[in-house]
Amino acid sequence: MSRWIAIVLCLVAARQAGAQADPIQVSKGPATAAPAGAGPLVPKALPRDGIAARVNNDIITWKDVDDTLKSIKKTDLSDDLRLSKLRKLAEERLFLQAAKANSLSVSDQELDEYVRREIRRFGNEEDFARVLRVNETTMTEYREEKRKDYLVMKLHRHLMQKAFTNPDDKSPGLLVDTVSPDELRAYYEAHKEEFKAVENITVWRVGFQYGIPRERELKARLAESFLRKLDAGTDFYIAATYYSEVRQSVETEKGWMYECAHRGLTREQALQFYAPETVTYLFDTLKEGETSTIRDDGRTLNIFRLVQRVNQREETFDDAQTRIRSILENQKREENRRILRAHLMKTAYIVPVDLFDSMK
């Protein structure tokens, strides 16, 4: 009897060991085989919880991934988006570990100045605070994200300086991210379309979709309620996030965002969304800072607020140099990011081993 018990225990132990030996499932992996005539193979879905990846001694869970995507609607939270976010988080951990190994840090004073520069990019503190609220992010969370960004930037600077002053076989070979006059001229000549005259607008928008006349009446009352909220002092953008049935998808560094706005909308693009008379009204009649009346586009009742109108003349090479420099510097920073990641991966312990295989 004891012999049979021993055999059973060995089989159980072997099964458990086999289960534990499986690598962490991050990529969707091979498709599950289907019986003949059962249709195409279906890839495995990503897990909803548990460990997603390991970067040296740091563990990343699927909860960590999903917490960074909390502003995305569940219906838009695809496996591809979650996997992309996981890879970015893992890369960030890799860089932050390297910064720590090089004794780099960001002081509160440095962070304060960095955040002030970021706020200026949004126009003013009020607009900045609005963006935070819409994306369900606190100032504390934002500061911590920017602390990481700044620390990674300091790591790049440190390694480039070290390559000049004290190079060794451990240097990753980062590119110098300054731009020469010849590079500026070459970019301008190859991308002249980018420097033609520009006309576009940034508008906030609340939209109510309808089908039959009865439904239009109900949506018209909602639109009128929205206007009354504005008259009572409610912020347009905040109210639009609650009222609007239509939103625009915008890709950012942190993933896809869905907002009640068109940013940099051209006349040609506007005609894909709205009737010609509405486009003319937005571009030629509505003034910056003004809120429109209710505009009926056949299947949607819209209310707009014009935030910005851009009417830019064609740029000469001298006009465009600052913008070109910024574009080329960003390209070199992205290339440096890839170089540094590849360099650090040589000595890193990463699970699963193919985590970064499809990452540019």
Query: pLDDT per residue over 55-65, tens digit each?
Result: 999 999 999 99
What is the structure's pLDDT at 152?
93
299 and 339 fall within a common domain: no
164 occurs within a structural domain: yes
CA distance 51 to 146: 25
216 occurs within a structural domain: yes
pLDDT at 29 over 70: no
What is the structure's pLDDT at 252?
53
306 and 338 fall within a common domain: no
171 and 219 fall within a common domain: no
317 occurs within a structural domain: no
What is the structure's pLDDT at 72?
81
The answer for residues whose C-beta is within 8 angstroms of residue 336's C-beta and 6 or more apart is: 156, 174, 175, 177
43 occurs within a structural domain: no
In the structure, what pLDDT confidence band is assigned to residue 6 with cuts at 50, 70 and 90? very low
pLDDT at 169 over 70: no
212 occurs within a structural domain: yes
Per the model's pLDDT, the better-predicted residue between 174 and 336 turns out to be 336
CA distance 305 to 230: 11
**Mean pLDDT of all residues in the chain?**
83
9 occurs within a structural domain: no
The answer for residues whose C-beta is within 8 angstroms of residue 210's C-beta and 6 or more apart is: 216, 218, 219, 299, 300, 301
Question: What is the SS3 assignment for 68?
Answer: coil
In the structure, what pLDDT confidence band is assigned to residue 251 with cuts at 50, 70 and 90? low
Tell me the DSSP string of 156-187.
HHHHHHHHHHS--TT---PPP----HHHHHHH
pLDDT at 69 over 50: yes
27 occurs within a structural domain: no
CA distance 75 to 57: 33
In the structure, what pLDDT confidence band is assigned to residue 36 with cuts at 50, 70 and 90? very low
239 and 345 fall within a common domain: no
In the structure, what pLDDT confidence band is assigned to residue 18 with cuts at 50, 70 and 90? very low
pLDDT at 2 over 50: no
CA distance 21 to 26: 15
273 and 293 fall within a common domain: yes
The answer to whether residues 117 and 92 touch, using CB atoms and an 8 Å cutoff, is no
In the structure, what pLDDT confidence band is assigned to residue 37 with cuts at 50, 70 and 90? very low
Which helix or strand (DSSP H or E) is residue 54 part of? Answer: strand 51-55
56 and 175 fall within a common domain: yes
In the structure, what pLDDT confidence band is assigned to residue 68 with cuts at 50, 70 and 90? confident
In this structure, what CATH number is given to the domain that contains residue 68?
Answer: 1.10.4030.10
What is the structure's pLDDT at 257?
59
Query: What is the domain extent for residue 203?
Result: 198-312
Location of structure tokens 């969707």: 28
What is the structure's pLDDT at 155?
93
114 and 137 fall within a common domain: yes
Q: Copy the structure tokens of residue 305.
A: 């607020």
Q: What is the pLDDT of residues 277-309, one digit of tens each?
A: 999 999 999 999 999 999 998 889 999 999 999
pLDDT at 30 over 60: no
144 and 58 fall within a common domain: yes
pLDDT at 15 over 50: no
Which helix or strand (DSSP H or E) is residue 139 part of? Answer: helix 139-165
Based on the structure, what is the number of domains in the chain?
Answer: 2
pLDDT at 357 over 80: yes
> Of the ranges 35-49, 112-126, 148-162, which one carries the lowest mean pLDDT score?
35-49
pLDDT at 213 over 70: yes
In the structure, what pLDDT confidence band is assigned to residue 35 with cuts at 50, 70 and 90? very low
What is the structure's pLDDT at 210?
93
What is the structure's pLDDT at 324?
94
204 and 168 fall within a common domain: no
What is the structure's pLDDT at 54?
96
**175-179, 344-348, 353-357: which is most confident:** 344-348
In this structure, what CATH number is given to the domain that contains residue 258?
Answer: 3.10.50.40
212 and 94 fall within a common domain: no
104 occurs within a structural domain: yes
224 and 257 fall within a common domain: yes
337 and 246 fall within a common domain: no
The answer for residues whose C-beta is within 8 angstroms of residue 212's C-beta and 6 or more apart is: none
